[in-house]
Amino acid sequence: MFFIAGEITGQRFSGDDERRLAIESFGLCREIFVLSYLLAFKKRFPDLDVTIIVDNEPHGDYLEKLSGNLINIESRPVTTELVRDEALRKSIILFVDKYFLDYEIHIPHYVVVKSKDERDNFFVSDPWRGGTLLMTSVQLQEAIFGAKHILGWAPLVIKIDKQSG
């Protein structure tokens, strides 16, 4: 999260900043941790827009209700094409099945998609690995598919932008 905030604001952040934000987020939204975390992030950076694109309309409606209009919620399919289009503009956070990245079991995981190359390979920062890896569009598609159809979770994209206007 702070990686993208740093890209937008030009500020530098540490792991301590990330840990403090996690602590602040407890209790803001007990139902869904990622929403609680994003609400704390929005409180800390009120001049940044936060958008969640969620691949499940009922879940999107639920997130919208819980977010109190502080976070933009869009319900539409999360696809490789969507990720490609968004990654051409700037870094995004993507919820995937880590098995298709490099893990031996299926588990939910967030990564930062930084950019893509001319061959539709994606440069992905994995916080668990501490580095950047190259994913093919097929791998990315499988990781999104795994989140939805193997783990049974709604894939989502988190976008952070400067406020317009």
- The pLDDT of residue 1 is 60
* Tens digit of each residue's pLDDT (9 = 90 or more) over 61-83: 999 998 888 899 999 999 999 99
**Is residue 72 in a domain?**
yes
Per-residue model confidence (pLDDT) at position 53: 96
Tokens at 107, concatenated: 């588990």
pTM: 0.84
Q: Provide φ and ψ at 77, rounded to 5°.
A: -60, 135
pLDDT in tens, 17-34: 777 777 776 766 556 778
Domain of residue 56, residue span: 47-165
- Judge whether 101 lies within some domain: yes
Domain presence at residue 144: yes
Smallest Cα–Cα separation from 143: which of 86, 90, 94? 94
> Is 14 part of any domain?
no
Residue 11: CB partners within 8 Å, gap ≥ 6?
5
Query: Is residue 33 one of the residues assigned to a domain?
Result: no
Domain membership flag for residue 64: yes
Number of domains into which the chain is organized: 1
pLDDT of residue 12: 76
SS (H, E, C) 42-92: HHHCCCEEEEEEECCHHHHHHHHHHHCCCCEEEECCCCHHHHHHHHHHCCE
